[in-house]
Every structure is written in C-alpha cells, then in structure tokens.
Amino acid sequence: MSIIVAFLVSLLGFTFIGVPIAFGIGLTSLITMFLLEMDMPSILARRFVTGIDIYTLMAIPFFMLAGEIMNKAGIVKDLLKFTNAIIGRIRGGLAYVNVLASMFFAGISGSAVADTSAIGSLIIPMMEENGYDKKFSTAITSSSAIIGVIIPPSIPMIIVGSIAQISVARLFLGGMIPGILIGLGLMLYCYYISKKRNYPIGEKITFKQFLNVLKTTIWALILPGIILVGIIGGFFTATEAGVIAVVYAIVISFVFYGVKLKDYPNILREACLNTGIVMLVCASAMALTWFLGVAQVPQNLSNFLLSISDNKLLFLFFINVILFLVGMVVDLTPALFLLVPILLPVSLNYGIDPIHFSIIMVANLSVGLITPPVGTVLYVATSISKLKLEQLIKEMLPMYIILFILLLIITYLPIVVLWLPSLI
C-alpha cells in the first residue's frame, strides 16, 4: 500500500513541477526501488533496453517515417481539397472537412499529435478566414485529432500489442469502426452547431473539378487500403505494414510530389526524434513496472477490485471513469505503459476480451490528450491558434460529452470493436 501511495505521489509530484515525463517515471522507479530496500540500479538499465528491444515496436519509427514523408510531400493539402470537394458545399462545410480530413489522415499516420499539427496548421487559419469562430475551430481540430490513434495505423495500439502480446493486426482492425463512429459523432455535433451559429456554406464544385482533385489525392488514399488489405490478407505483420507504408510513401512522394533526395536527412531525423520521445517513455516505464511488479501492485489492485464487485459492467464503468481521470494528468503513452500490465489481467478475470479491453483503454486514454491540465494535443492546437488553454474549455465541453457517450458505446457494445478482428 505504501508503495502505491509513494508511486502516485512521486509520479504526480515530479510531473507537476515540470520534470519531463520520461525522467519523472524514471525517478519514480528509483524511489520505488529504495522503498523496496533494493539497491539494483542495474535493473533500471536492463529494463531500459527491455522497453525498446521488441520487434513489434519497430513499427513505430516506420509509421512515424511514413507520416513524415507524406506530410512533407504536402499530401494534407490535397486531403483538404478532396474532403472539401465531398462535403464542403453544405452549411458549416469546413467543420466537416476538418473531421473528415482527420479521419483520412488517421489512415496514414499513427499519432494524434501529428494529425493535429499537420491538419490544424492548415485548416485553423482557413476556417478563421471563412468566418468560423477560432475557439470552435481549435476545439474541433483537437477533438477530431484523437481519431488518429483509433483508426489504424496507431502507435498506442502497437505499444499495447507489444506489452500485452496481442496481435497488433487485430488491434488495428478493432479500432476501425470505433474511429469511424467518433468521426460521425463529431460531424453530428458540427451539424448542430453550424445550424445554431449559422456557419458559412462552402463553394460548390463541378464533377470535373472533383475528378481533378481525386486524381492527385487517390495515391494518398490508397495507402490505408494497402495497409488494411495487407494485414487482413495475411501478407505481412504490423511491423512490415509499417515498412511497406514507408516504401510506398517514398515512391509516391517522389513521383507525384517531387520530394527530393536532399529533403530526406531532415525527414529521417524528424522521424527518429519523434520515435526517441516515445521510446524514452517506454524505456523508463518498463523500469517502473518491474519494481511495481516486485511489490505485487498488479495482484493487490486486482484482488482489491474483485473484492468490491465481480460485476463486469460495473467494472467497465469504473474503468471508463478512472481512465478519464488518469488521462487528465498522464499522457497516453506513459499511461498505457503503466496501466496495461496492471489492468489487462484484471479484465481477463472479469471475462472481457483482451482486444476489446485494449481498444477501450486506447480510446479512453486518447481523450486524455485533449483534456487539461496535461493534454499534448491541446498544447499543439492552442500553439497553432495562439489561444490560451482556458479559452478553449467552454467549446470543448460539449465535445467531451459526445466523446464520453461514444466511449460508452464502444465499451458496452463489444461487437463494434470485435466484429472486424473476427474476420481474420
């Protein structure tokens, strides 16, 4: 018990004063180690390697790289043109374009932050120009960006798959329908708010113009298809899907977008640096989970929860609320590393499918990316629009409610998650 308290206090304390999360987790494991009266810094070092030395995790740099190449090529501009051609003509068109473009970009990128910066930096100014409220534009950009980690590929799902030894391919498929549902849910809200605030109607375009847009965008739109078909058809694993995505991105960015060889050092560097950020958290979180394991925190928590109730629905609701709260103060990646090893075994005791539970965790915690005080997507979005976090909250509130309702659907209708993975 004292270990759990010390763990929570030091992790939150270090985070609060501004220690980078990865080091905060490392320091917490150091403190846990001392409390256990162990003097084994060598375990720290070994667990650092353990957190990285996993074949499946190699999918992370690959999808980072594929996303980076596509982004540098300027594919997002085409995606916006394309979605605008589909849906821009109705009232509040650009709001729908925002959500829909996020859904398409989600099929290329595995990261919500990448989604925010790629799409947000283009569409927030565009929406402002067209008479949309800046706060609303920033809020809808942030909310729809979390689709980036729900629709495959998804870096958080790669992480869950490798710590829990679940097939990443099945996790990817499990996120497909929930991701689309979140997109539709947000578009429904756009419909309501556009009517209410009388947001502008976009330009109509001719079928010929549409075909022109499609001609350039089609190549970017094919990539998610290749990834999905490859995984469903069993042609390659998730890691290999990542590398296929990279090679495909290199080819089309060269042929259709004129990305040159000399652009590559920077593209590769960015992908590496972004991978490094995730992997340092993975590494130090692995150190922490070892000491928490020695202290038998997972078993104790599991016994504690089971002693309260063995009702599956009650447990799931408890999880929804807890993860929502955790998500407010801990970012998605570290939260997964700390909680998956603890909660997944508990959920098995309640008879919940591990794929279903993993998707619940990712979806639930990804909402944490857009809730203050610690919400990376919010930071990025507000820095694009030069707004303060506090100014956004009022616009975000209804979206939180919608997302929470969608979370409940994902949680209590397992078929939404499990139908697609059951096909392979």
Partner 1 sequence: MESIFDKILSKIYKLMDILMILSILSLVIIVFSNIIFRYFGKSFTWIDETSRLIFVWMALLAAVNGYKINIHPSFTSFLNKLDKNKRKILLYIINFLILAFLIYLFKGGIDYVNSTKHNKIAILNISVAWKYLAVPVASFVMILETLRKFIYIYKDEFFLDEYEMTEINNN
Partner 2 sequence: KREDSKDEITLKIAHYYAVDHPVNRYFEEVFKQKVESETNGSVKVQIYPNSQLGDEQEFVEGVQLGTVEMALTGNLWENTVPEFRIMQMPFMFVNYDHANAVLNGPIGQKIYEYLEPLNVKVLASFPNGFRVISNNRRPINSIDDIPGIKMRVFQGETIIKLMNILGFETIVLPISELFTSLQQGVVDGQDNPLATSFYNGYYEVQKYVAITNHMYSPGYIVINNNVWNKLTKEQQKIIENAAKETAFKIKEAVKNQEEQIIQKIEEQGIVVTYPDLLPFIEKVSPLIDEYINSHPHTESIIKEIKELANEYLK
Q: Which residues in 277-336 contact partner 1 (CB under 8 A)?
A: 277-281, 283, 331-333
Minimum CB–partner distance for residue 401 and partner 1 (Å): 23
Among 85, 119, 374, 420, binds partner 1 (CB under 8 A): 374
Q: Return left, alpha or beta for 37; rule: phi > 0 is left, psi -120 to 50 is alpha, else beta.
A: left
Nearer to partner 1 (CB atom), residue 130 or residue 383: 383
Q: Which stretch binds partner 1 (CB under 8 A): 1-9, 60-68, 209-217, 414-422?
A: 60-68
1 binds partner 2 (CB under 8 A): no
Residue 201, phi then psi, degrees to nearest 5 = -95, 135
Query: Which helix (H) or strand (E) is 234 found in, with range?
Result: none
Nearest to 94 by CA among 135, 129, 70: 129
| Lookup result for tokens 């944490």 | 368
Nearest to 279 by CA among 28, 42, 22: 22
52 binds partner 1 (CB under 8 A): yes
Minimum CB–partner distance for residue 17 and partner 1 (Å): 6
Minimum CB–partner distance for residue 350 and partner 2 (Å): 15
Among 345, 353, 398, 404, binds partner 2 (CB under 8 A): 345
Q: Are 342 and 298 in contact (CB under 8 A)?
A: yes
371 binds Na ion (CB under 5 A): no
Output the CA–CA distances (angstroms, integers) from residue 232 to 238, 306, 424, in the order listed: 10, 36, 6
The C-alpha atoms of residue 309 and residue 303 are separated, in whole angstroms, by 10
Half-sphere exposure of residue 192, counting CA atoms within 13 Å on the CB side? 9
By a kind-dependent CB cut-off of 5 to 8 A, residue 198 interacts, out of partner 2, Na ion, partner 1, none, with none
By a kind-dependent CB cut-off of 5 to 8 A, residue 169 interacts, out of Na ion, partner 2, partner 1, none, with partner 2
300 binds partner 2 (CB under 8 A): no
Residue 110, phi then psi, degrees to nearest 5 = -110, 15
Using the 8-state DSSP alphabet, how is residue 262 labeled? Answer: G
Nearer to partner 2 (CB atom), residue 139 or residue 352: 352
Among 56, 71, 102, 366, binds Na ion (CB under 5 A): 102
Please, which of residues 215-274 interact with partner 2 by CB under 8 A? Answer: 233-237
Please, which of residues 225-264 interact with partner 1 by CB under 8 A? Answer: 236, 239-240, 243-244, 246-247
By a kind-dependent CB cut-off of 5 to 8 A, residue 131 interacts, out of partner 1, Na ion, partner 2, none, with none
Among 276, 322, 325, 408, binds partner 1 (CB under 8 A): 276
49 binds partner 1 (CB under 8 A): yes
Q: Are 258 and 200 in contact (CB under 8 A)?
A: no
Q: Which stretch binds Na ion (CB under 5 A): 46-54, 106-114, 243-251, 284-292?
A: 106-114
Please calculate the CA angle 320-326-330 and round it to the nearest 5 degrees.
140
By a kind-dependent CB cut-off of 5 to 8 A, residue 144 interacts, out of partner 2, Na ion, partner 1, none, with Na ion
The C-alpha atoms of residue 424 and residue 419 are separated, in whole angstroms, by 10
Angle between helices 354-367 and 389-412 (to 10 degrees): 170
CB-count exposure of residue 114 (10 Å: 0-12, 13-18, 19+): buried
Which residues form the interface with partner 2 (CB under 8 A)? 40, 42-43, 46-47, 50, 55-56, 161-162, 165-167, 169-170, 233-237, 290, 293-294, 296, 298, 341, 345, 424
Which residues form the interface with Na ion (CB under 5 A)? 98, 102, 106, 110, 119, 141, 144, 148, 151, 153-154
